Structure 1
Amino acid sequence: MLRTTTFNRDLWQLNSFDSIGYDKEKLLLDIYFFDGNTLQFHSITEDILFALILDKQKEKFIEEKLKPTHLIEPINA
């Protein structure tokens, strides 16, 4: 089951997204971007998810830690 979280854009200084969805059974992370696009990351364990949630630079975390090491699938919104 996919559970979603929305971050405060101003507090976290987010420029490209503010919501994520996570399915802990399938280990899928969806990131919902402002432009209507969604990226789905595979094999995301809860420790990786919590690292993203707690990271002060979430967009940098996605670019440097998620995109290079996890399968990405674009999903049309």
Structure 2
Amino acid sequence: MLRTTTFNRNLWQLNSFESISYDKENLLLYIHCFDGITLQFHSITEDILFALILEKQKEKFIDERLKPNHLCEKINA
């Protein structure tokens, strides 16, 4: 089951996305970007997901922790 969370862009100072979806069974994280692209990250455990949700600098977390360490595919929405 895919669950989606939408963040307040202004509160979190987000410039590239405002919503994410998570597939717990397949350990897939989807980041829905403003440019119409969705980034699909593989092997994302719940602890990593919760770290992203709680992180104040979400875009930095994605660039520094997710992209270098997890397979990422671009999906056209």
Q: TM-score range by the shorter chain?
A: over 0.9
CA-CA distance at 1:45 after TM superposition:
0.2
**Ranges in structure 1 where 5+ consecutive residues have no aligned partner:** none
The alignment partner of 2:10 has SS state of helix
Give runs of ≥4 in structure 1 deviating > 2 Å. none
- TM score, norm. by length of structure 1: 0.99
The alignment partner of 1:53 has SS state of helix
**Ranges in structure 2 where 5+ consecutive residues have no aligned partner:** none
The alignment partner of 1:38 has SS state of strand
- TM score, norm. by length of structure 2: 0.99
CA deviation profile, 1:48-72 (whole Å, cap 9, x unmatched): 0000000000000000000000000
The alignment partner of 1:15 has SS state of coil
CA-CA distance at 1:41 after TM superposition:
0.1
2:7 is aligned to 7
What's the % identity of the aligned pairs? 82
